[in-house]
Structure 1
Amino acid sequence: MTGRARDEIEPLTRWLALLILPFLAVASVLLYLLPTETERLFAWTIQPPLTAMLLGSAYLGGIWFFVHVVWQRRWHRVRHGFPAVVVFATLAGAATLLHIDRFHAGHVSFITWLVLYVTTPFLVLGALLANRRSDDGLAEEGDFRIPFRVRAALGSLGGLALLVGLALFLVPQAFLSTWAWDLTPLTARIVGAVLTLPGMVNVWLFVDHRWSAFRWIYQAQLFSLSFIAVALVVARGDLQWSRPAAPLFVAGIVLSLLGYSAFYWWCERHSNLRDEGAPGSRLRRANAG
């Protein structure tokens, strides 16, 4: 489609993504690969390891997302991920201040965590506002219009995940003895923050029908879900199977992974979008020239 408005990612937004990526990479290694070493290596002691791996999975999805913020050209391709990051970072920062006594004061990882979650909500919100006029609302050439019934179904699931995440954050005590694995008030709030990520993404399906506005964000979600599924196998001993929430959570992750994969494949079959912002596509264009 010709005659597009700007729809470009502001340069400072790319720099912000580049700034965030190393922290996500380090945190992913510490939490996902070394989940039993958080007392020694991380900002606070996370028990059981499954909670650490869940948070690490969210960071791994964040890496995929912010890499595309750096490489993509068009703002609308990554736009709907930014409100999710704002909410997640705000809740994580609030949880930190509410439970500051649980953190390893003076440890380099705590200082890094505190600085990040005090500043990131404002920086990401600033990037969102700086790009607010960049999206023209038009579909791309080769785009696919997602039917409303599909968007409503996924948006409703996102709304449910968002509500559960907010409930975990606001009233963590209500979940301590009923969640799929053992939680503390702090980890309940962090798990709740993680659940708001897919929730905040999916609710935008109610107002945006363009597959191009979700394709690369759903790649990040599938990436994160895959690691969560592996974590449920690796740390299966942490699950409290006597609680109904355990099989429900596991089933929810498996069904989400299968459902999102089917949705992604279906949308891809009906679209003909180009990965014009990806490193490989730039290399192909350079070779063609």
Structure 2
Amino acid sequence: MTSQDRTDRLLLPTRVLLALFAGLTTVAVGALFVRAAETDESFAWTIDPAATAAFLGAGYASGTVLVLLSWHGGSWARTRIPLVTILVFTALTLTATLAHLDRFHLAVDLLLPRFAAWFWLAVYVVVPVGMTVVLVLQQRRAVPPGPRRPLPAWLVTLLVVEGLVLLVVGSALYLAPATAELLWPWPLTPLTARVVGSWLVAYGVAAALLVRAGDLDLLRVPAVAYAVLGVLQLVVAGRFADVVRWGSASALVFLVMATAIAATGSAAFVAAEARPAPLREALQP
């Protein structure tokens, strides 16, 4: 492929897929975060307690921000890691769905939850395939990376520590859902433990990829989504305080991690938006 064929712009299939995913995640936010207590009547499976539905809805809200900002920015270099993050989440969620199909409203009498269940299954079969295709198409035409703006040491440390916690806890919940009794501050079923774990692993992978890339310019979009995730998880803990096991170590870890994620995302965005010193000097009269 010649240099003229390479581009950093998002290809049309990528834009279409991102727009589709943004629409789907927006619907999920409404069904899970807003109507957390009504999943038995309006969602693909019944989620109890409602705190879990709200947690998942917060994840989808963060995903919506991630996708919309990536779509608006139009740069493949800044979209690649968000796309890989979404691919990891959707692939893990598909596996969890297939392992627990008996929990879904695939044969209930109510039309809305039955439609939601079949729609969920279709989406999580199609989206990972579509994500893989556009990832290959875009990467084949990607331009070589330009000069990097190295991450400050404090940010690398925060991302490494938080990423490891997300990966370890998420992997444990996904592979051994029974560990939720120890690792999570409210009850989870095997299915919800695996879907929660999917979100945690996906964001842990994102943190690892951002550290590996080592470029502040790639952090703008993920930083905003990361901050949204942390803030909304704190909202979930307050909104459903009655089901949180406040005396447990898992509740303390949850609050510390949610606060750290919100703060790290905000600080990373500020750092990414700051002009490099040479540019500041060049702009001075």
TM-score range, shorter chain: 0.7 to 0.9
Write out aligned runs for 1:212-223 (5 A).
212-223=217-228
**What amino acid maps onto 2:243 in structure 1?**
D
- Pair 1:212–1:102, CA change in 2 (3 A): same
| Residues 173-205 of structure 1 deviation map (CA, whole Å, 9 limit, x = unaligned) | 122355211111111101101112321111013
User: Equivalent pairs: percent with the same residue?
Assistant: 28
- Pair 1:150–1:20, CA change in 2 (3 A): closer
Q: TM-score, normalised by structure 2?
A: 0.87
Correspondent of 1:109 among 95, 102, 116? 116
1:266 aligns with 2:271: yes
1:136 aligns with 2:150: no
Residue equivalent to 1:63? 64
Question: Where does structure 2 lack aligned partners over 5 or more consecutive residues?
Answer: 108-113, 278-285
Q: Is the 8 A contact 2:216 2:271 kept in 1?
A: no
Whole-angstrom distance in 2 between the partners of 1:151 and 1:82: 21
Q: Is the 8 A contact 2:167 2:200 kept in 1?
A: yes
Residue equivalent to 1:53? 54
CA RMSD of aligned residues (A): 2.1
Cα deviation for residue 144 of structure 1 reads 3.5
Q: Is the 8 A contact 2:226 2:261 kept in 1?
A: no
Which protein is richer in helix relative to its size?
A: 2
**What amino acid maps onto 1:118 in structure 2?**
V
Residue equivalent to 1:248? 253
| Residues 213-233 of structure 1 deviation map (CA, whole Å, 9 limit, x = unaligned) | 121121112122222221111
Residue equivalent to 1:73? 74
Whole-angstrom distance in 2 between the partners of 1:219 and 1:271: 20
Higher mean Cα deviation, 146-155 or 233-242?
A: 146-155
Identify which of structures 1 and 2 has the higher relative contact order when contacts are C-alpha pairs closer than 8 Å and 6+ apart: 1
**What amino acid maps onto 1:120 in structure 2?**
V
Q: Is the 8 A contact 1:179 1:243 kept in 2?
A: no
Question: Where does structure 1 lack aligned partners over 5 or more consecutive residues?
Answer: 273-289
What is the number of equivalent residue pairs in this alignment?
Answer: 267
- Pair 1:155–1:31, CA change in 2 (3 A): same
Q: Is the 8 A contact 2:170 2:197 kept in 1?
A: yes
Cα deviation for residue 101 of structure 1 reads 0.8
Runs of 4+ in 1 over 6 A off after TM superposition: none
Whole-angstrom distance in 2 between the partners of 1:176 and 1:109: 29
| Residues 231-277 of structure 1 deviation map (CA, whole Å, 9 limit, x = unaligned) | 111111121123211121112111221233223223323449xxxxx
